[in-house]
Amino acid sequence: MRVLGVDPGLTRCGIGVIEEGHRRGVNCLGVGVVRSPVEDELPQRLMTISDGVEEWIRAHEPDVVAIERVFSQQNVRSVMGTAQVSGVVALAAARRDIQVAFHTPSSVKAAISGSGRADKRQVTSMVSKVLGLSTPPKPADAADALALALCHLWRAPMTGRLAEAEQRAAELARNHQQRLRRAARDSSGTGGQQR
């Protein structure tokens, strides 16, 4: 599986591509950032990021695009820009029929370091170790993008199995309800006779 991880940001949008190798190994195929000039108007900045992300998608042809789920209660203006970038990235993937997955920052940190409260230095260090990188990816947005991709790669099999189990449970519940309705109809069809 090839995963393109995206740490959305309006000024710096982190991008990292990994691929599952032999014997559960993981290879880093590329890492970087897509930048948009602060002096540009918002629509132009979003188009710049969209063009950059589409370039990465064309070059690496990922199976999945993993994006950090945006949430914050502090800086609304910053969150709005980040959310808009997330939407642009999801749209770029959807146009190519590429699956999109969203992961919270705490779930990414927990997957990479074992703690949902890990700091950026710890995440960068673990990403470098897991991928065997001789130098840590910089800036932190790039390392975060690789962490997102790794999180998805490691959690996708479990998420898939959970979705299958939920689907099977819903199917079993429907079948059970149908049997109960049939049994109720059959018992009422006998006119409620008892021996």
195 band by pLDDT with thresholds 50, 70 and 90? very low
Active site (annotated) includes residue 141: yes
- Mean pLDDT in the chain? 89
> What confidence score (pLDDT) does residue 191 get?
53
141 is in an annotated binding site: yes
3-state DSSP helix/strand/coil % of the chain, to nearest 5? 60, 20, 25
Tokens 């710049």 belong to 48
87 SS3 class: helix
- In this structure, whether the domain defined by 2-161 belongs to CATH 3.50.50.60 is answered with no
Average pLDDT of span 16-42: 92
Average pLDDT of span 30-43: 96
68 is in an annotated binding site: yes
Active site (annotated) includes residue 119: no
Active site (annotated) includes residue 40: no
21 band by pLDDT with thresholds 50, 70 and 90? confident
Q: Which residues contact 145 (CB under 8 A, 6 or more apart)?
A: 5, 6, 7, 14, 15, 16, 31
39, 55, 68, 171: the catalytic one is: 68
pTM metric for this prediction? 0.79
For the chain, the domains span 2-161
For residue range 70-126, list pLDDT tens digits in order.
876 567 777 888 999 999 999 999 999 999 999 999 999 999 988 888 888 999 999
97 is in an annotated binding site: no
For residue range 123-174, list pLDDT tens digits in order.
999 999 999 999 999 999 999 999 999 999 988 756 556 566 677 888 888 8
> What confidence score (pLDDT) does residue 193 get?
53
